[in-house]
Amino acid sequence: MALSKKKARWLMARKGFFDMLPLNLAVLPWGILCGSLAVQRDFSALEAILMPLIVFAGSAQLVAIELIANNASLATILFTTFIISSRHFLYGLALRDKLKVLPTKWRYGLGFLLTDELFALSSHSKSFVGQLRLIYAVVAGGSFYVFWLLWNVAGVIAGSYLPDLTHLGLDFAIAVTFIALVIPTVINLPILVTVIVAAILSVVFKLMAFELDLVAAALIAMYCGYLTDRFQHKHKRVDKPDDNDSLDETHNESSSDNVTSKKHSSLSVEDKL
Partner 1 sequence: MTLLTIVLMALITFTTRYLFIHPRLPVRLGAKMAKLLSFSAPAVLTAIWVPIIFVQQGELSVSLQNPYLISATLAVLTAAKTKSIYFTMFIGLITFVLSRYLLSV
Closest approach of partner 1 to the CB of residue 44, in Å: 8
Q: What is d(CA 68, CA 57) in angstroms, rounded to the nearest whole number?
A: 16
Closest approach of partner 1 to the CB of residue 4, in Å: 29
What is each CA distance from 21 to 68, 92, 112, 123, 211, in whole angstroms?
Answer: 32, 23, 19, 17, 31
Closest approach of partner 1 to the CB of residue 20, in Å: 10
Q: Which of 7, 14, 70, 123 binds partner 1 (CB under 8 A)?
A: 123
CB 62 within 8 A of CB 188: no
Query: Residue 6 or 263: which CB sits closer to partner 1?
Result: 263
Between residue 127 and residue 156, which ones bind partner 1 under the rule CB under 8 A?
none
Is 259 one of the binding residues for partner 1 (CB under 8 A)? no
Between residue 9 and residue 68, which ones bind partner 1 under the rule CB under 8 A?
22, 26, 43-44, 46-47, 50-51, 54-57, 60, 64, 68
Q: Which of 3, 28, 94, 150 binds partner 1 (CB under 8 A)?
A: 94
Stretch that binds partner 1, among 3-11, 84-92, 144-152, 260-268 (CB under 8 A): 84-92
3-state secondary structure of 121: coil
**x/- binding map, residues 155-174, to partner 1, per CB under 8 A?**
--------------x-xxxx
CB 228 within 8 A of CB 189: yes
Q: Is the dihedral of CA 62, 65, 67, 73 positive or negative?
A: positive
Query: Residue 85 or 131: which CB sits closer to partner 1?
Result: 85
Closest CA to 182 of 239, 145, 221, 129: 221
Q: Which of 3, 28, 45, 88 binds partner 1 (CB under 8 A)?
A: 88
CA 191 to chain centre: 18
- Looking at the chain, the number of H-run helices and the number of E-run strands are 14, 0
Between residue 197 and residue 216, which ones bind partner 1 under the rule CB under 8 A?
197-199, 201-203, 206-207, 209, 213-214
Query: Residue 8 or 38: which CB sits closer to partner 1?
Result: 38
Instruction: Let me know if 24 is exposed, middle or buried by CB neighbors in 10 A (0-12, 13-18, 19+).
Output: buried
Closest approach of partner 1 to the CB of residue 231, in Å: 13
Q: How many residues does the chain have?
A: 273
